[in-house]
Amino acid sequence: MQANTRAKSFITDFVRKIPPVLWITLLLITIFSMASDQYLKFSNFTNILVQSVPLMLVAFAQTLIVLTQGTDLSLGAQVSFVTVLWIYLTKAGLPIYIAAIISVVASMFVGSINGLIVSKGKIPPFIATLGMQNILNSISMLLTAGASIYIYHPLFYDVTKAKIIGIPLVVWITAFMFMVTWVVLYKTKLGAQIFGLGGNQEALTLAGINLVKPSIKIYAFAGLLTSVSGLITTCRLESGQPVVGAGWEFEAVAATLLGGTSLREGKGGIGGTIFGVLLITILKNGLNISGVPSLYQNAIIGLIILMSIVIDALARRMKSYEEGAKL
């Protein structure tokens, strides 16, 4: 009986978790459609979806890391690194597909190093990945001498312009990566371990699980998602850009938090993150269409990010207040 009412309260809890993002999203759409008659066109919505793709993939990666109570600050640098490496290797004479695969593997390798440092070295993820961010940025700069590097290849155009049943290929790719992430999170051992790392590490140790292996796998998988984002970004820009991903890791954290994943207890999931990313993209797109100067745009987005983090912190404080502790 009791369990049943609690099941209900869990559902209401779940429903309560999603709406804020949806509401704000709908509110923004209303505001922007009043501000500009260009806004409510179908083409603009596909546009928003396409625009959201690179951040979406990075945010999926970040969500997994946040579920383990970590933050991966190297994700943005990984994106830049992949765009640079792909072009660099192709320029060096490797076939473009081979270069792409090497770039993906390199990004996963970077991730597994992160996972190794975090778990084996017991270094807080924030610090370990901050170090990795700097290393990657530096490598990207060295490979490009600080400027963008270009090659011409029809593949780039094909990837960005291709459509299947009227929906752009990159959106399909993202949907596919979402499915893969969802399966990993809910249908594999690794997924359960992700929730375990965030929720109760003691439980993993007592189950005889060495924390190193799952951490390496999780960060490597984050690297995979990020590298796909990097490849798509390269196609769109038709170039390797050493700073293109700067700051994406924080937007990804914001999207994760907006989507209802909490910075503690391994609470949340991948579904909400989609809406978090859409919210941020709609905000950017709407500000553009309504003609708000880009100098203001960053401030507004920053405010939204801060708000999402403050709300999370407030929720935590309210909860500990309910539990009766003042310290």
Rounded alpha-carbon distances, angstroms, from residue 182 to 13, 112, 192, 213: 21, 20, 12, 20
Count Cα neighbours of 202 within 13 Å in the Cβ-side half-sphere.
2
Cα 180 to chain centroid distance, Å, stands at 14
Q: Which of 102, 159, 180, 192 binds other proteins (CB under 8 A)?
A: 192
- Contact between 199 and other proteins by CB under 8 A: the answer reads yes
Stretch that binds other proteins, among 22-30, 83-91, 196-204, 309-317 (CB under 8 A): 196-204
Burial 83-106 (b: 16+ CB within 10 A, else e): bbbbbbbbeeeeeeeebbeebbeb
Query: Smallest Cα–Cα separation from 232: which of 149, 170, 148, 172?
Result: 170
- Nearest approach in angstroms of CB 175 to other proteins is 19
- Nearest approach in angstroms of CB 257 to other proteins is 16
- Contact between 92 and other proteins by CB under 8 A: the answer reads no
Q: Which of 10, 126, 150, 176 binds other proteins (CB under 8 A)?
A: 10
- Contact between 15 and other proteins by CB under 8 A: the answer reads no
- Nearest approach in angstroms of CB 264 to other proteins is 10
Interatomic CA distance for residues 101 and 96, integer angstroms: 9
Q: Which of 92, 164, 206, 295 binds other proteins (CB under 8 A)?
A: 206
* Residues in region 262-321 near other proteins by CB under 8 A: 265-268
CB atoms within 10 A of CB 171: 17
Looking only at the bridges linking them, the beta strands covering 167-168 and 163-164 are: antiparallel
Stretch that binds other proteins, among 93-101, 146-154, 199-207, 293-301 (CB under 8 A): 199-207
- Contact between 202 and other proteins by CB under 8 A: the answer reads yes
Site mask for other proteins (CB under 8 A), range 211-250, x = bound: ----------------------------------------
With respect to other proteins, which residue has the nearer C-beta, 141 or 209? 209
With respect to other proteins, which residue has the nearer C-beta, 223 or 268? 268
Q: What is the DSSP string of 258-314?
A: HTT--SSTT---SHHHHHHHHHHHHHHHHHHHTT--HHHHHHHHHHHHHHHHHHHHH
- Say how many residues touch other proteins, by CB under 8 A: 36
With respect to other proteins, which residue has the nearer C-beta, 13 or 158? 13
Looking only at the bridges linking them, the beta strands covering 167-168 and 239-240 are: unpaired
Interatomic CA distance for residues 62 and 73, integer angstroms: 9
- Contact between 326 and other proteins by CB under 8 A: the answer reads yes
Strand runs (DSSP E) across the chain, as ranges?
149-150, 163-164, 167-168, 239-240
Specify burial of residue 319 (Cβ count, 10 A radius: 0-12, 13-18, 19+). Answer: exposed
- Nearest approach in angstroms of CB 256 to other proteins is 15
Residues engaged in binding other proteins (CB under 8 A): 1-4, 6-7, 9-10, 183, 186-189, 191-193, 195-196, 198-200, 202-204, 206-209, 265-268, 324-327
